[in-house]
Amino acid sequence: MEKRPFVTKEKLEEIVREYPTPFHLYDEKGIRENAAKLKEAFAWNEGFREYFAVKATPNPFILKILKDYGCGMDCSSLTELMMSEATGFAGPDIMFSSNNTPAEEYRYADKMGAIINLDDITHIDFLEESIGYIPETISCRYNPGGLFKISTDIMDNPGDAKYGMTTEQIFEAYKILKSKGAKRFGIHAFLASNTVTNEYYPLLAKVLFELAVKLENETGADIAFINLSGGIGIPYRPDQEPNDIHVIGEGVRKVYEEILVPAGMGDVAIYTELGRFMLAPYGALVTTAVHEKHTHKEYVGVDACAVNLMRPAMYGAYHHITVMGKEEAACDHKYDVVGSLCENNDKFAIDRMLPEISRGDLLFIHDTGAHGFAMGYNYNGKLKSAELLLKEDGSVQMIRRAETPEDYFATFDFCDVLKNTEK
């Protein structure tokens, strides 16, 4: 698979004249086309709904685009709930899937009428203490433990994850919740991350569908929806084949008809909770080469850093890099592409073969549309970049301005600092 930027060098140069690098740029056309494909792939299920993982790209302009395709929002914190509410989402438009949740956040989610997804059996009593009752619609997060495999390949290790209830706990949780007034139940599970295979979702669906049948039979609970959560990944590397969402949807449909329909559960709604799949390929970090260094290695220094994209520093994650205008040039120079943080892991690429890079070249760092800007921080007093939307008509809209030093200092009261210094 060849990775190509969704914007031309000429267009980027035009954008840079108004908005200095670094910035995150999102492709509205790509986002809309992908959201439509997901909806089509699961159209066979009457109750299907995508609950976009707000944590992946928390920007109200992006959320509004997804709202056009019937998406709800998956929230995991108070501020994500507030952002979703301010963007026009309410009630069952919102799935609140948090862990180690403060009481005030449960109260806010309940006030909004959000669907609450409990991470642990002990949260039943905590939720009841927090809001005074158990909602009629409630969901529980499941973790079967052990390893999650496709054939002989280990995809992930749910047993090491902090999320979800054991098999025994979820059966007990349903019984307790039913006794406390819950009437409509959901099941949620996340067993593997960033899978680049069409087999993951159907296999996960099989696990959850079989569990749903047993839960309904043994507890009498009415299973209203099953949330397959996230885990569908993207091809970060050029040699990876992308997932086919239509093949995935058809695979889930087949398992649905094999397991749920014969059990009299053909009305169960399927929910997804995708972040990376929905947004990652449709965002890029655009940065400028500002320095070069020739020591024990060849370095290119750019004006972005791990504050703008921390996945490579945090996980050693691969993000493809295109040197704009040099797409057809030979990749015959080996570089570490680095930022300016006082941390040696502040590197976007290590020993990466790229065309010769000169100061002033624009670098397009691919696949930052999810978990890119969102994971930023202010170490070294670095400021977060702007977010820009490349609209379908070719115009560009700033959907978040870059931070300023005033933003960084806004939480200090320098009058109090001076008073204490004088003492």
Mean pLDDT of 198-205: 93
Q: Which of 57, 110, 61, 64 is nearest to 80 (CA)?
A: 57
Give first-to-last CA distance, the chain, whole Å.
65
Q: What is the pLDDT of residue 195?
A: 87
Mean pLDDT of 193-221: 94
Which helix (H) or strand (E) segment is 72 a member of?
strand 72-75
Q: Which of 67, 52, 30 is nearest to 391 (CA)?
A: 30
**pLDDT tens readout for residues 387-420:** 999 999 999 999 999 999 999 999 887 666 555 5
Instruction: Please say if the pLDDT value at position 153 is more than 70.
Output: no
The angle subtended at Cα 272 by Cα 267 and Cα 273, nearest 5°, is 150
Lowest average pLDDT, out of 27-41, 140-154, 339-353, goes to 140-154
Predicted confidence band of residue 380 (pLDDT cuts 50, 70, 90)? very high
Distances (CA, A) of 107 to 94, 115, 121: 14, 12, 18
Architecture of the domain delimited by 28-280: Alpha-Beta Barrel (3.20)
Residue 406 CA to residue 62 CA, distance in Å, equals: 26
Dmax over CA atoms of the chain, in Å, equals: 77
Q: What is the pLDDT of residue 372?
A: 96
Q: What is the pLDDT of residue 422?
A: 52
Q: What is the mean pLDDT of the chain?
A: 94
Q: What is the pLDDT of residue 2?
A: 82
Instruction: Please say if the pLDDT value at position 65 is more than 60.
Output: yes
Instruction: Please say if the pLDDT value at position 26 is more than 70.
Output: yes
Instruction: Please say if the pLDDT value at position 265 is more than 50.
Output: yes
Residue 162 CA to residue 24 CA, distance in Å, equals: 31
Homologous superfamily of the 281-409 domain (CATH): Lyase, Ornithine Decarboxylase; Chain A, domain 1 (2.40.37.10)
Predicted confidence band of residue 384 (pLDDT cuts 50, 70, 90)? very high
Q: What is the pLDDT of residue 415?
A: 62
Residue 340 CA to residue 342 CA, distance in Å, equals: 7
Q: Has this prediction a pTM greater than 0.85?
A: yes
Distances (CA, A) of 23 to 283, 317, 362: 10, 19, 11
Residue 119 CA to residue 100 CA, distance in Å, equals: 8
Residue 347 CA to residue 340 CA, distance in Å, equals: 9
Helix axis angle, 123-131 to 167-179, nearest 10°: 30
Beta strands 49-53; 72-75: pairing state: parallel
Instruction: Please say if the pLDDT value at position 292 is more than 50.
Output: yes
Q: What is the pLDDT of residue 154?
A: 45
Q: What is the pLDDT of residue 294?
A: 96
Domain map (residue ranges) of the chain: 28-280, 281-409
CB 402 within 8 Å of CB 317: no
